[in-house]
Structure 1
């Protein structure tokens, strides 16, 4: 299944137009643009420098996101996301959630995976620098994100299941469920905002879980 999805993604790749790569601008922080680099390999098997450029907002017709691949600073290819760009020795895979990048890896023909390096000026690059320079603060932030997401899922899931269980076919076959949790609207909104911020923080570290980061796709 993974090979089939990768093959399908490769067929979506379109040739680039050769335009130069634009510099990262400060107003594209924190989640407006993602920029990742893959340097040439030391053994010469991958002589070019690749850059993946994803704009999360704007220039996305029909709500679809597009990944752009640059080779040595020139537009080399583009594809709808999820994307798989064939390069020397493997493919570069790109996938997103609603909150940012959840995968940007170079996968070799032997199956080895290497995450591309985020641009130092990007949100992902700044988050990586925080983790490198202040590991304790980074761990506290990461743990807080997990706590917010677990609380959000634990409190909101029963409230969601209740109305769904009232649907006649479900009620007839499985019975109904009454949630023991009834939160005021302001608290539900607060939890939703906290979960969104937590998922955004995790996206800056390319962390994603289908249940915790339920807002992703």
Structure 2
């Protein structure tokens, strides 16, 4: 019920496009822009190409916007989370603090298909690595997951220590807790950078977990 309401709200936010031409992806936009493509074939065999273009930094009002292009022309736009009606279903777009966490074509019967990243984008390079070197790709994914798990554990331990040592905290009821991991300031900085890199790598593959990726954002 909640998902249906959220979907209707997202569809209502969609505004018509202005017909401008889709700009090519440039290498310096690798971590500031996402571009994904979807090819659909109609019943009469005619093929159309949709593109989802998202700039991660947001607009002047601070909102991240997704732009939908049809055959290279601006067709629609919406704040994210976005739901663009297309033939046979909907293109759903959601963002995280490190990129996109969802860019999928959802058919009317509920089937989901991830859109294809532009070959020139960072997500496109990551997808190419996955195809060319699947073992290395899985290892990188495992390292990213491990780094985020370690970061979450350290964060929970440090928070528990701070809460139990606070004069207004719960120490008077359960006693104090001393974290077994005591990182210096530079260690916390390095760990924070590593978790940021790990979440960015996962965002390139549209992988997201509210506890791991959301916890460091």
TM-score, normalising length: structure 1? 0.91
Counterpart for residue 193 of structure 2? 193
- Tell me the distance in 1 between the aligned counterparts of 2:178 and 2:211: 19
- Tell me the distance in 1 between the aligned counterparts of 2:118 and 2:178: 46
Alignment of structure 1 residues 15-54 onto 2, 5 Å: 15-29=16-30, 31-41=31-41, 43-44=43-44, 47-54=47-54
Instruction: Report deviation, 1:48.
Output: 2.4
Counterpart for residue 78 of structure 2? 79
| Mapped contact 1:81–1:95 kept (Cα < 8 A) | yes
Alignment of structure 1 residues 36-185 onto 2, 5 Å: 36-41=36-41, 43-44=43-44, 47-57=47-57, 60-165=59-164, 166=166, 168=168, 171=170, 175=174, 177-180=176-179, 181-185=181-185
Q: Tell me, which stretches of 5 or more residues in structure 2 are unaligned? A: none
For the aligned residue pairs, the C-alpha RMSD in angstroms reads: 2.1
| Mapped contact 2:81–2:95 kept (Cα < 8 A) | yes
1:58-105 C-alpha deviation (Å, 9 max, x unpaired): x61232100000011110000001100111111100001111110000
Q: CA separation of 1:162/1:45 partners in 2, compared to 1, >3 Å: closer, same or farther?
A: farther
| Mapped contact 2:36–2:115 kept (Cα < 8 A) | yes
- Tell me the distance in 2 between the aligned counterparts of 1:212 and 1:120: 28
| Mapped contact 2:195–2:216 kept (Cα < 8 A) | no
> Larger deviation: 67-76 or 43-52?
43-52
1:4 and 2:5 aligned: yes
- Tell me the distance in 2 between the aligned counterparts of 1:113 and 1:164: 43
Count the aligned residue pairs: 213
Kindly report structure 1 stretches of 4+ aligned residues shifted beyond 3 Å: 42-47, 164-168, 172-177
- Tell me the distance in 2 between the aligned counterparts of 1:154 and 1:172: 21
TM-score, normalising length: structure 2? 0.91
Q: Tell me, which stretches of 5 or more residues in structure 1 are unaligned? A: none
Instruction: Report deviation, 1:161.
Output: 3.1
- Tell me the distance in 2 between the aligned counterparts of 1:209 and 1:9: 21
1:108-141 C-alpha deviation (Å, 9 max, x unpaired): 1111111111111111111000000011211111
